[in-house]
């Protein structure tokens, strides 16, 4: 089945640690995204990538980093510089980042700082 796979589903991070969330898609989509959801808020864009080896900051990129070495993969690293990392993280993809294209989401990853 085609889809977007995120792992792990639940992750605990100690203060000062970097953690990486995995996102893989087999939809052959060019564009991939990372969003963050906090209680009572909409989805906020962290980073996006339109093609391999290229990515741009979203609205809340500080404390995060990404890479796009393969079309199928767009991992997100939450660094120790991210002051409030506890949240629900969503990876998404679309055929292209342009008019008329639907974004599809993975199942999400919960990150908790302990």
Rounded to the nearest 5°, which phi and psi values hold at 23? Answer: -145, 120
Residue with tokens 């060019």: 30
Closest to other proteins by CB, 59 vs 69, is: 59
At its nearest, how many Å lie between other proteins and the CB of residue 98? 6
Cβ atoms of 104 and 53 closer than 8 Å: no
To the nearest 10°, report the CA torsion of 49, 4, 44, 9.
Answer: -130
Closest to other proteins by CB, 61 vs 103, is: 103
Cβ atoms of 62 and 77 closer than 8 Å: no
At its nearest, how many Å lie between other proteins and the CB of residue 92? 8
Closest to other proteins by CB, 18 vs 110, is: 110
At its nearest, how many Å lie between other proteins and the CB of residue 82? 21
Residues at the site binding other proteins, with contacts judged by CB under 8 A: 4, 6, 33, 35, 40-43, 45, 88, 90, 92, 97-108, 110
At its nearest, how many Å lie between other proteins and the CB of residue 71? 19
Closest to other proteins by CB, 41 vs 53, is: 41
In 3D space, the residue among 95, 88, 96 whose CA is nearest the CA of residue 21 turns out to be 88
């Amino acid at each position: 089945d085609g889809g977007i796979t995120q792992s792990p589903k639940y992750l605990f991070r100690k203060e000062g640690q970097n953690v990486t969330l995995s996102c893989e898609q087999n939809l052959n989509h060019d564009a991939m995204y990372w969003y963050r959801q906090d209680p009572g808020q909409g989805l906020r864009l962290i980073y996006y990538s339109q093609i391999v080896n290229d990515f741009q900051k979203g609205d809340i990129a500080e404390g995060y980093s990404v890479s796009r070495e393969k079309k199928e993969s767009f991992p997100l690293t939450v660094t120790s510089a991210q002051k409030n990392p506890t949240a629900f993280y969503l990876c998404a993809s679309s055929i292209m980042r342009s008019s008329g294209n639907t974004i599809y989401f993975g199942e999400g990853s919960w990150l908790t700082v302990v």
